[in-house]
């Protein structure tokens, strides 16, 4: 792969890491093997460093609620990712050998569903649930928020369908068009019994609308532009 192509891959990796760190903002949730890794890549892309930087390697710690288990995901981004497969391995001291084997088979299968060029790291936690909960726990008021990471959202008719669906389903959040396309939807799931509080304090947004940000770089009239996820990160910080 040419140096120009490697730089394109590294740029996409930085954008994906910005998004990942915004989704897991708590200390210890994402641990870089080299704390200077992202800075080193930025220097390489800016031309202030000639040598190819090391691969991005890190661990994501996820707490799965049902069944309740903590899982560490060891992630390695090859220099050519997302055009070659991500290296992903799950570990947990709370899983036996067979469960851990099933977990990693599921992760390998999940990675294999993506085409070359598609970023696949921002997956929902439910991908890691290896078996259903035996008994459902009593639920009062639960606020649900789902993040949907799409390869791209460009077409006008698709954008309209997403906005119409958001209004019809009475959800709050946003739809960020471009590449990648990101949809955030939130809604209160009400139990049958009456409970104290209405969960409104959990909402980050008060409506569902289209989010328009600047494209990253100059793409002219092309419609395969990459969105500025740094600007998106600032948007998320304002809605903590």
Domain segments of the chain as ranges: 3-128, 141-238
pLDDT at 203: 57
Domain 3-128 identical in fold to domain 141-238: no
pLDDT on residue 149: 79
126-177 pLDDT per residue, tens = 455 443 332 334 444 566 778 887 778 888 888 888 888 888 877 888 888 8
> What backbone torsions phi and psi does residue 221 show, to the nearest 5 degrees?
-90, 0
pLDDT of 41 over the 90 cut:
yes
Tell me which DSSP letter residue 9 carries: H
Kindly report the CATH class assigned to 3-128.
alpha beta
Model pTM greater than 0.75?
Answer: no
CA distances from 181 to 89, 102, 127, 162 (A): 26, 30, 20, 12
pLDDT in tens, 208-218: 777 777 766 55
The H or E element spanning position 171 is none
Could you name the CATH architecture of 141-238? Answer: 2-Layer Sandwich (3.30)
Residue with the larger pLDDT of the pair 39 and 209: 39
Catalogue the long-range contacts made by 125-134 (C-beta closer than 8 Å, 24 or more residues apart). 125/62, 125/64, 128/62, 128/64, 128/71, 128/90, 128/103, 129/64, 129/66, 129/67, 130/95, 130/99, 130/102, 130/103, 130/106, 131/67, 131/99, 132/66, 133/66, 133/67
């Amino acid at each position: 792969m040419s140096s120009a192509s490697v730089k394109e891959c590294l740029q996409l990796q930085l954008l994906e890491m910005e998004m990942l760190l915004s989704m897991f903002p708590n200390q210890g949730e994402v641990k870089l093997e080299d704390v200077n890794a992202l800075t080193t890549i930025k220097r390489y892309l800016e031309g202030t460093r000639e040598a190819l930087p090391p691969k991005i390697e890190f661990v994501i710690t996820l707490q799965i609620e049902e069944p309740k288990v903590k899982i560490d995901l060891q992630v390695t981004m090859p220099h050519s990712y997302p055009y070659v497969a991500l290296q992903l391995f799950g570990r947990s001291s709370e899983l036996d050998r067979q469960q851990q084997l099933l977990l990693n088979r599921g992760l390998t299968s999940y990675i294999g569903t993506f085409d070359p060029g598609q970023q696949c790291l921002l997956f929902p936690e439910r991908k890691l649930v290896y078996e259903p909960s035996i008994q459902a726990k009593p639920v009062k008021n639960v606020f649900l928020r789902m993040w949907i990471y799409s390869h791209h959202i460009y077409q006008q008719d698709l954008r309209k369908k997403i906005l119409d669906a958001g209004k019809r389903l009475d959800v709050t959040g946003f739809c960020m068009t471009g590449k990648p396309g990101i949809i955030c939807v939130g809604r209160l799931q009400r139990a049958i019994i009456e409970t104290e509080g209405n969960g409104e304090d959990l909402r980050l947004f008060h409506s569902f609308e289209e989010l328009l940000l600047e494209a990253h770089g100059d793409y002219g009239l092309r419609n395969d532009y990459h969105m500025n996820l740094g600007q998106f990160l600032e948007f998320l910080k304002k809605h903590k």
